[in-house]
Amino acid sequence: MRAGLRLRLLLLLGSLLLVAFVPLFFAVATYTSLTLQKLRESHARSLGRTIAGHVATVGLGRSSEELMPLVRSQLGAEGLEAIGVYGTDGAALVRVGEPSAVDALPRSARPNKEGIADVTTSHGRALAVLVPRGPGAVVAIVRTDDDASHTAPLLRLLALYTALVALALLTATYFALTRLIVRPLDGLAHSAERVASGARHLAVPKTAVRELSELGQSLNTMTARLLSEEDKLRAKVDEVEHATQKLRETQEQLVRSERLASVGRLAAGLAHEIGNPIAALMGLEDLLLAGGLEPDMERDFLQRMRRETERIHRILRDLLAFARPSTAGVDSRQPGDVEAAVHDTAALVMPHPALHGVDLALDVHGDLPRVTLSREQLVQVLLNLVLNAADAAGSGGHIRIEASRSAQGVELCVSDDGPGVAEIVRERLFEPFVTTKETGKGTGLGLAVCRGLVEAAGGTIELDLEHSRGARFVVELPDARVTASDAPLG
């Protein structure tokens, strides 16, 4: 977990105050105890002098027996532990006081010089103060070792004071900084969070700090810009959705109109295909009705009428096959044998005038599965393709029928070495009445019928666009067994 700004501030301030106040405390404490020490020493010195002066004034010249009670009466005051009085020769006259302090008294003292020395008694540290008086000298042992007991409460007080000041400073600074920085920042963070969860406006908390208020303003501007960008984006998305919807509708419309157009083309083609022979028929009928014709001519007219009627009949038959491709065959539900159908086709077309001088090659791989198209329908498709190929290749041309196993079932190919499919009809090759052949030779229904039959059987038929020499039509037909198992025909 990461520490918050408050905790960090607190730690920083705490360590700053520690760095500032601990040395200060020690400096003050050391200074205080040194001053106290000096004070005590000067005190001890003046005490020693006073005692010595007193003893010298009242006692010099008296015997040591007379001095004893006088000196003893001075003991006990202000840490005075022992007193020694020395004569002119420096020898001790009287030495009274605490036994250990008495031991610390010098055996002899030169009376001419004032001095001070550190000594140790059973109580601890002490000062021996020598004061010359008259012909002799007085030495007083004054305790100084109880410094600690005097300074300790003072130091404790100092420590307490320092700690209190430090704490007060810490609290004050902490609250000031929190108020100035942390709270406005928290406010900004909450505001930003609200914006993130959907609010439309960033509420900037009031603050006296210039930088923070500037930050708030910047955030506010940024939020406003982001929100307006978002609005724009949303508008764009709506627009795109709208456009997509429109596109879809247009596409559907296009498909519909395309369908209508093919129906229209179908009708137009039909009108043209049937209209021409009917006009011819009517003309011939008029001539016959007018009468007065030679019997030969009459016969010729009737034969021509017969041909025109046959043409109409052929067109209607093809059209019927195109309209109801799945029922056009005799036994349409019977799975067809491709190999047999190929041979049937070859036998049927061989005597046809279109095949004169044309080489027809068959390439059928044995063991082909039966397909979803009946044998008769297969022949119908193959006939259309082979006759087209013969028309294109002409005398001296070559046609090849291939049948082989494919992933789905059987692939049937009819190729020729003619000029290939004309550019203008390629797009609409499988639509009815699309033809490049002159009237009477082609109806433009052949490939449309083929596609109707093949697609009804679940297969595909297309022109191989990769093929460069002549034309090549590829028919894919599903394996009847596979299809029968998942969706029965009919």
Instruction: Using alpha carbons, list the distances in angstroms from residue 452 to 229, 315, 320, 323, 465.
Output: 55, 16, 11, 8, 21
Site string for Mg ion, 245-284 (x = CB under 5 A): ----------------------------------------
| Among Mg ion, ligand ADP, none, partner that 471 touches (CB below 5 to 8 angstroms by kind) | ligand ADP
Contacts of 274 (CB under 8 A, 6+ apart): 312, 315, 316
Distance CA 435, CA 424 (A): 10
The answer to whether residue 432 forms part of the interface with Mg ion (CB under 5 A) is no
Out of 447, 453, 456, 461, the only residue in the binding site for ligand ADP (CB under 6 A) is 447
Nearer to ligand ADP, 131 or 315 (CB): 315
Task: Pick from 446, 452, 470, 478 the residue near Mg ion by CB under 5 A.
Answer: 446
The first and second tokens of residue 269, run together, are 């083609």
Stretch in the footprint of Mg ion (CB under 5 A) among 256-264, 280-288, 294-302, 385-393: 385-393
Give the list of residues 6+ apart from residue 326 with CB closer than 8 angstroms, or none: 332, 453, 456, 457
Q: Which of 289, 280, 267, 283 is nearest to 308 (CA)?
A: 280
444 binds ligand ADP (CB under 6 A): yes
Q: Say how many Å lie between the first and final Cα of the chain, rounded.
A: 72
Question: Does residue 412 touch ligand ADP according to CB under 6 A?
Answer: no
Contacts of 129 (CB under 8 A, 6+ apart): 44, 45, 47, 48, 49, 52, 115, 116, 139, 140, 142
- Does position 384 interact with ligand ADP (CB under 6 A)? The reply is yes
Nearer to ligand ADP, 98 or 416 (CB): 416
418 contacts ligand ADP (rule: CB under 6 A)? yes
Q: Is the dihedral of CA 30, 33, 36, 41 positive or negative?
A: negative
Residue 380 lies near Mg ion (rule: CB under 5 A): no
Q: Per the structure block, which two tokens stand in for 315?
A: 């067109």
Spatial contact of 51 and 80, defined as CB atoms under 8 Å apart: yes
* Distance, CA of 40 to CA of 45 (rounded, Å): 8
Question: Is residue 416 a contact residue for ligand ADP (CB under 6 A)?
Answer: yes
- CB of 388: closest distance to Mg ion in angstroms? 4
For ligand ADP, give the closer residue by CB, 94 or 389: 389
Interaction between residue 272 and ligand ADP (CB under 6 A): no
Query: Which residue, 446 or 452, is less far from Mg ion as judged by CB?
Result: 446
Q: How many residues bind Mg ion (CB under 5 A)?
A: 2
Site residues, ligand ADP (CB under 6 A): 384, 388-389, 392, 416, 418, 420-422, 425, 429, 434-437, 442-444, 446-448, 471
Site residues, Mg ion (CB under 5 A): 388, 446
